[in-house]
Amino acid sequence: MTTRTVRRRVIVHGLVQGVFYRDTTRRLAAEHGVSGWVTNRTDGSVEAVFEGAPNEVDRMIAWARRGPRQADVDSIEVYDEQPEGLAGFAVR
């Protein structure tokens, strides 16, 4: 963790399952040094937790608003949470 770490939970709605959303999220998070996880939800949305430097977490949230090329994001919810000191990024 950096001296200032933030944690954001995002829920992404739209055509976001079956379009490599989770794998692309994992790859980009690793490139930007962001820890956390991403998972499909039963309602068809995708949920992710991003933890890391504020500018890198903001970059991941901006990307989540668009998603991979095949995705069609309708909306995104963002929630602030207390950092937990996560290491690595997992697809759940």
Q: Which residues are catalytic?
A: 22, 40
Angle ∠(63,5,56) on CA atoms, nearest 5: 25
Give the max Cα distance, the chain: 37
Taking the C-alpha atoms of residue 53 and residue 71, their distance in angstroms, rounded to an integer, is: 26
